[in-house]
A and B are shown apart, each in its own frame.
Chain A
Amino acid sequence: MTPAITADKLTKKFGDFTAVNQITFEVKKGEIFGFLGANGAGKTTAMRMLNGLSRPTAGQAEVAGFNVYRQAEKIKRHIGYMSQKFSLYEDLTVRENIRFYGGIYGLPGREIRRQEKELTASLGMEGYSNTLVKAIPLGWKQKLSFSIAIMHRPEIVFLDEPTGGVDPITRRQFWEMIYKAASEGMTVFVTTHYMDEAEYCGRVSIMVDGHIAALDTPRALKEQFGAESMNDVFLQLTRPNQ
């Protein structure tokens, strides 16, 4: 089975500054992959290259079987994206948001209406279709924006700090949605600097200063560093002297 993402010595330079330095990794199909690092470690730059938004300076990468240099437009059609900061239009209703995103990805009208029904039902949001997004609770917003991000059945979905600031129950409901999507074969790529979120991933990579400093399952990493939590692993990697 071909991997969902392969990166081989992927590099991005801005002038003299090397933001991403020869990163090499593979993400398997249906895997939940955590992409961790401090602010400014190069996470966002790396993710933009994989999303087809930024052209690498050197190295190779394939996403969903497409080359990041030559087939950026195809990549965009086969991935989904959700960020904690922006995903839904607050001044549109739930239904309008669903139709808008369905329309962007060229889903037929009948399919959009079917998904709209299914989606609101599975989130327990029947009767809220005509409510403005800004008026629904944060937990719903996050679940809704994840559902919308995978409406077009992408092969890979990129999540940017997906569960910051929600209550623990909502957070778990959110992770259950992710597990469900993964169990159906969707690959989930989570970028975050919040280490608690990393514990939920199948495998994680930790970026430090533009390169990947560690890559394994959370359990193996914790064993390797003799740490109790991913947070401790991360602190050891980024502050080795203390």
Chain B
Amino acid sequence: MSTNAIKVESASKRYGKGVVALDKVSFEVGQGELFGLIGPDGAGKTTLIRILATLLLADEGYAEVNGWEVRKDYRKIRRHIGYMPGRFSLYQDLSVEENLHFFATIFGTSIEENYDLIRDIYVQLEPFRKRKAGKLSGGMKQKLALSCALIHKPAVLLLDEPTTGVDAVSRQEFWEMLRKLKEKGIAILVSTPYMDEASLCERVALIQKGHILSIDEPKKIVSAFDKPLFAVRTNDMYRLIQDLRAFESTHSAFPFGENVHLALKNPIWPEAIQAYLAGKGHTDIEIHPAQATIEDAFMELMGQEEEVNQ
């Protein structure tokens, strides 16, 4: 198929008078692609996904899903997408089985007909199939919600923050499921505020304040970070950050786990940094070259954005 699974062209959306949720957003998701929408709360991820799910209309711009325009062909889109909203949106007082049966029926299909697609996910739920959805653990709820969104064999999956509030084990399992679904040819758009999940997508869009900072493969986004980067630690973290920011060669210094990630304006020897810190009275100084992460890249892009705005 030649059409894209999702195509958005300079879509904008405002709420009320002043709040700009989306500002001329454009991107495409190919057929069978696993695409991540990465950004903090309030970046516009939910608005964007709701526009694609035909639940909101953009003020300006154009959007289509599987070749159908979101305003005109909303009925066709609704029949062929699987949508999982940000909060758990199943019937808490219905059992696992009843929920699944309900959603299968309203999409004009049955559990048996498309069981193949959800088998891997549903087997984990099977022991609890008589349990009320409200009584499931967070990870199980997400699996049930995904099963319900998949039961009609959608061409495109729209998942709004499926891993928020879910523990690390369930998160990992969830991403494994998404990879398997992708292999079955389903295009997936998934949003997340967790930067570390970017590497699990084929391509990602980094989004901040309704604006896309960058769209690319996660590896390429990271490798676009071209400043020399060091991981630095000493005995006093708080003072270390202050001192590094005052250092003349410093481009940026941010706490990063147990270290401070120090990006330099120009390449210098680590010994120069060591000497500077020792002069400031730091002890136990450790300096290692560091590999940039998606968070480093995101912060760098945020910084550039702000410079452009000023």
Question: Is any CB of A less than 8 Å from a CB of B in the complex?
Answer: yes
**A interface vs B, CB < 8 Å?**
38-40, 137-139, 164-170, 172, 175-176, 179-180, 182-183, 193-196, 199-200, 217-219, 229, 231, 234-235, 238-239
Most B CB contacts (10 A, CB to CB) among A39, A219, A229 go to: A39
The residue in chain B whose Cβ has the minimal distance to the Cβ of A230 is B257
The reply to whether B238 and A137 contact each other, CB–CB distance below 8 Å, is no
Total contacts A to B, CB within 8 angstroms?
90
The residue in chain B whose Cβ has the minimal distance to the Cβ of A184 is B238
Please give 19 more A-B residue pairs, beta carbons under 8 A apart, in addition to A40-B137, A168-B40: A39-B139, A164-B193, A166-B41, A168-B298, A168-B302, A169-B302, A172-B299, A182-B238, A193-B167, A196-B194, A199-B257, A229-B196, A231-B168, A234-B168, A235-B169, A235-B172, A238-B168, A238-B169, A239-B169
The reply to whether B258 and A199 contact each other, CB–CB distance below 8 Å, is yes
**B interface vs A, CB < 8 Å?**
39-43, 137-139, 164-170, 172, 193-196, 208, 236-239, 241, 254-258, 295, 298-299, 302-303
Which chain A residues border B241 with CB–CB below 8 Å?
176, 179
The residue in chain A whose Cβ has the minimal distance to the Cβ of B192 is A165
The reply to whether A179 and B299 contact each other, CB–CB distance below 8 Å, is no
Which chain B residues border A164 with CB–CB below 8 Å?
164-165, 193
Which chain B residues border A238 with CB–CB below 8 Å?
168-169
23 contacts between A and B (CB under 8 A): A38-B167, A38-B168, A38-B169, A39-B138, A39-B139, A138-B41, A138-B42, A164-B164, A165-B164, A167-B39, A167-B43, A167-B302, A168-B195, A169-B302, A169-B303, A175-B255, A196-B195, A200-B255, A218-B258, A234-B169, A238-B168, A238-B169, A239-B169
The reply to whether B255 and A39 contact each other, CB–CB distance below 8 Å, is no
Q: Please report the C-alpha to C-alpha distance between residue A185 and residue B155 in the assembled complex, in whole angstroms.
A: 56
The one of B170, B172, B255 in contact with A176, judged by C-beta atoms closer than 8 angstroms, is: B255
Mostly, the A contact residues are helix
Which chain B residues border A176 with CB–CB below 8 Å?
238, 241, 255
The one of A165, A167, A183, A194 in contact with B239, judged by C-beta atoms closer than 8 angstroms, is: A183
Q: Please report the C-alpha to C-alpha distance between residue A199 and residue B139 in the assembled complex, in whole angstroms.
A: 23
Q: Please report the C-alpha to C-alpha distance between residue A112 and residue B142 in the assembled complex, in whole angstroms.
A: 44
The residue in chain B whose Cβ has the minimal distance to the Cβ of A135 is B19
Q: Please report the C-alpha to C-alpha distance between residue A20 and residue B218 in the assembled complex, in whole angstroms.
A: 40
